[in-house]
Amino acid sequence: MNVLPNGFKFSGISCGIKESGGLDLALISTSAPSVVAGVYTQNVVRASSIDWNRNLTPADDFRAVVINSGNANACTGEQGIQDNQRMAQIVAEQIGATAQQVLVLSTGVIGQLMPMANIEPGIIDLISQSQNSITHFNLASQAIMTTDQGPKTISLEIQSDGQPLRVAGIAKGAGMIGPNMATMLAIMVTDAKLSPANAQGMLATAANRSFNRISVEGHTSTNDALLLIATGESGVEILSDSQLAQFSATLDSACIELAKQIPSDGEGASHLVTIEITGAQSEEDADQVARTIAASALVKTAIAGSDPNWGRIVSAAGYSSVAMDIAHTHLTINGNCVFQSGQPIAFDEAAISQSMADNFETKIKLNIGLGKSVATHWTSDLTVEYVKFNSEYTT
């Protein structure tokens, strides 16, 4: 559905950060002070933008976020800190705000100084072109990409107590994706009216169920960030328990759909791999098993080769340090049972292999036989193309 929340403007331009000449500078701004929340990388080696944003969120006086691609502004010392603050200051001067009302996101190559001679006039141009339109929303989604094959977006409208409100989002990421704010950026926007505390709480929950459950190669970036911005311009105030539960579920769903687009676009990937763990004693246990399977290079290469190698999957679960009852463990691949009650069963290996080759998504479902808790993780396979790409591309 091509709907956008009220109270936002979007833009995306090329200002010369990328040698390719591609779009590399984006802006999302609000017409009035708005609520913002953020979840950020857990990497202790982090970009200047992460520290800046972390100190300013959650808040209720947000006005804009400027995003650049092609340069991470990470490991750039005092100059990087000054450049980050200067970007916020320029935006603030143009929209009548303070620098503390402006967030900054950067993504791209680590360890290079920002080309501020290009960025400063670029920001002025960027703001002059901002509009609330699908065209400009899409330009912003394209301008945040690095190695992505295409933009990642979502937009939807829901009814809350009979009143409409809208949620939309953009994301980027294809490599350096590890499940602790798996390099990725995502910005969710809504015209619902939220408190900063509720926005932060719901965003943290959504991150744990979506962007924290994706991986490509397990590499947590220096720049990972997820923002939620709420203008309140729908007039729908999210206050009651039922409203909070509905909005939280909507945000979870939107974040999951965006998050799945990242491993689907994994560098050189030929499969999206969905790993569903059931029968765990806790959600944390289920998540740990799923992450362990997703991180296995042997599992990932088997899927790249359309090989229903159940032994690699079950053994990965076994070294996850999570309790499991092997006698009650069951495994299916694309709906076909290959391991049941702790032992292999007869299955048509050629048919399952063909189903893996014919479908972009491979579905692994493993019941570990001890409880009722579940968790799902999404990853990509590991291909020769991934190795070749990352042996030649500088991050």
Residue 109 confidence (pLDDT): 87
My answer on whether omega of the bond before 58 falls inside 30° of 0, hence cis, is yes
The whole-number average pLDDT for the span 21-49 is 93
272-392: CATH class:
alpha beta
Residue 145 confidence (pLDDT): 92
Q: Which two tokens stand for residue 116?
A: 């501020």
User: Which of 47-61, 191-205, 266-280, 295-309 is predicted with the least confidence, judged by mean pLDDT?
Assistant: 266-280
Residue 170 has pLDDT above 90, yes or no: yes
CATH T-level topology, domain 8-264: L-amino peptidase D-ALA esterase/amidase (3.60.70)
Report the distance separating Cα 188 and Cα 200, nearest Å. 12
DSSP 23: -
Distance of CA 270 to the CA centre of its chain: 19
Residue length, the chain?
A: 395
Identify whether 301 is a catalytic site residue: no
At position 247, the amino acid (one-letter code) is F
Catalytic residue among 183, 250, 332, 376: 183
- 194-221 burial, b at 16+ Cβ within 10 Å, e below that, comes to bbbebbbbbbbbbbbbbbbbbbbbbebb
Residue 217 confidence (pLDDT): 55
Q: Name the pLDDT band for 176 (thresholds 50, 70, 90).
A: very low
Residue 175 has pLDDT above 70, yes or no: no
Do the domains 272-392 and 8-264 match in fold? no
The whole-number average pLDDT for the span 80-87 is 97
Q: Which of the residue ranges 73-77, 108-112, 282-286, 391-395 has the most confident prediction, judged by mean pLDDT?
A: 282-286
- pLDDT one-digit tens code per residue, 267-324: 667 899 999 999 999 999 999 999 999 989 999 999 999 999 999 999 999 999 999 9
Q: Which of 297, 329, 303 is nearest to 316 (CA)?
A: 297
User: Which of 1-5, 248-252, 347-351 is predicted with the least confidence, judged by mean pLDDT?
Assistant: 1-5
Q: Which of 237, 92, 101, 250 is nearest to 169 (CA)?
A: 250
The whole-number average pLDDT for the span 341-350 is 94
Average predicted confidence (pLDDT) for the chain: 91
Report the distance separating Cα 260 and Cα 211, nearest Å. 8
The residue ranges of every structural domain in the chain are 8-264, 272-392
Q: How far is CA 40 from CA 111, 187, 197, 203, 265, in A?
A: 19, 12, 16, 11, 21
Q: Name the pLDDT band for 355 (thresholds 50, 70, 90).
A: very high
